[in-house]
Amino acid sequence: MAILLDETNDAKRTSWVTSANGHGDFPIQNLPLGIFSVRGDTPRGGVAIGDEVFDLKAASDAKLVSGDADKAARAASNPTLNELMALGAGPRAALRKQLSALLAAGTAESARAKPLASKLLHKAADCTLHLPAKIGAYTDFFAGITHAENGGKRRGANPPLSPNYKYVPVAYHSRASTVRPSGVPVRRPNGQRVVDGEQLPTFGPCLKMDFELEFGIWVGQGNAWGEPIPTGQAFDHIYGFCMLNDWSARDIQRWESAPLGPFLSKNFGTTISPWMVTPEALAPFRIAQPARPEGDPKPLPYLWDEADQREGQLDLEIEVLIHTEAMRAKGAPPQRIAVSNTKHLYWTVAQMVAHHTCGGCALEPGDIFGSGTISGPTPENYGSIAELSFDGTKDITLANGEIRRWVQDGDDIYLRAHGRRAGYASIGFGDCCARMVAAK
């Protein structure tokens, strides 16, 4: 599972694509993968570099990449990245190395690429970004322990966590067909809900709309049906990462969840950031899994791997911002309302993969996991509005004086993530944003 730092992570490397140098999200040290189109042409694979999108099909056609890198570029020339993801980590890493050399300033490879800039590069502002892969299955985990504890406390549970929480990476199967890329509005759902003060349900629009600050995990090479993936090998099956907003209709969820769990409250829309940040780009930000508090059980043997404990977690700052209609009307920027970190996850990505497959479930290229809401230990770290407002009983006062207890129609919710570490270039994920619009 070791992913080694190399020249592609060198903070001193700069690009002849000048907008990449010092870029907040997409410097040359990132090079995330995605699917783009320009002015309605055929969607195809690209790489974000500064304010541009590098066209992988054009690079392959121009014979700028070779060997496994060209194999990867040709696989990425389709309207989805599933074929590329099925190739596994080797071709992905080879493509990254050759692209880094092509885009770096002052290399022999860049002397071949720069004259073709007009064919290779497209201004990101002119591009439409699509889902990077056809999603076969979407599984939403519950690995943010503070979020789980806070939910239990709001429900009056004592203790707040269910007995299985510290033994098993809890998850449920969500709806792949309603995952959408950043920028696509999400419509408020209708459903059964019990209005505060009433005893019986009525049907109508969700009254308690929430966001969830989650980390998205893309599956690359899958596994054969009936063949579990060991924890020590599980990270090799992860192809990339994104931000994920698991929109949640809390009033509908409260009524429908007994006895089988959420259904309509979770299947109406999920927003993801469209760029797939690779494990190689995140190598500088891998850390040890924080030690479990004294008294917590050690994971069962199939979920325990020493290497995973040493380097299986990520240290990424993640945040939520809101941009209301009133803010936009006055030209005000979005306001940050919460900030957390991926290191607050109770389970590692590898443990999620290992548990998902331990019973023989087959994962496939393009499957996606949500981590579960990642809340930190203090209120400013809470990753959902249900936590920030204590289930709608406390006001969240914005800088312009507006009050929020739940997401309102017209609100844009942004999720963002950045990796920062001394001695390395900072990288980001780009926006994961959607506007909540009125129910039909």
DSSP character at residue 326: H
Residue 145 · residue 382 · CB < 8 Å: no
* E strands present in 311-411: 313-314, 317-323, 335-341, 368-370, 396-397, 403-404
Q: What are phi and psi of 235, to 5 degrees?
A: -65, -25
Tokens 């190399």 sit on residue: 6
User: Coil, helix or strand for 313?
Assistant: strand
**Among 133, 95, 77, 128, which residue's Cα sits nearest to residue 276?**
133
* Distance (Å, whole) CA 132 – CA 276: 7
What is the rounded CA–CA span in Å between residue 429 and residue 366?
18
Nearest CA to 290 among 339, 344, 231? 344
Sequence-distant (≥ 6) Cβ neighbours of residue 246 within 8 angstroms: 140, 174, 211, 212, 214, 266, 270, 370, 373
The encoded tokens of residue 433 equal 């944003």
C-alpha distances in angstroms, 199 versus 78, 190, 250, 264, 385?
Answer: 53, 19, 17, 20, 24
Known catalytic residues are 147
- Residue 221 one-letter amino acid: Q
Instruction: Measure the CA–CA gap between 3 and 286, rounded to whole angstroms.
Output: 9
- CA dist., res. 22 & res. 249, Å (int): 39
The DSSP letter of residue 384 is B
Q: Extract the tokens encoding 71.
A: 């194999």
The count of residues in the chain is 440
In 211-276, the DSSP E strands lie at 213-219, 238-246, 248-249, 270-272
Contact status, residue 85 vs residue 56, Cβ threshold 8 Å: no
- Report the distance separating Cα 8 and Cα 15, nearest Å: 11
Handedness of CA 304, 306, 308, 309 (dihedral sign): positive
How many CB atoms are located within 10 Å of the residue 6 CB? 13
